[in-house]
Amino acid sequence: ARQAEAEREKRARKILADGECLASERMIEAARLYEKTPIALKLREFQTLSEIAKEHNLIVVTSGSDNMGTMLGCSKAVNR
């Protein structure tokens, strides 16, 4: 019984480690994308703030963003 439990724990640790590696690879891919397209990073930031606000019933006020007009223009161009 102990050996079976040890095997299950070993498999669980491997599955967890594999998941961590996959998540790390995805984060690296995302970082590269955001590096190439800063507008995508800013939009993701807004999306995250929106999700937090909804989850906690908050109103989020952001400071004047740099190049907000440029960002809006870029997002319209991307959506064409």
Closest by Cα among 37, 61, 64, 33 to 49: 61
pLDDT of residue 32: 96
Alpha-carbon torsion (28, 74, 44, 80), positive or negative: negative
pLDDT in tens, 34-77: 999 999 999 999 999 999 999 989 888 877 666 555 555 655 56
pLDDT above 90 (res 27): yes
pLDDT of residue 79: 63
Of residues 21 and 71, the one with the higher pLDDT is 21
Angle at 63 between CA 58 and CA 69, to 5 degrees: 115
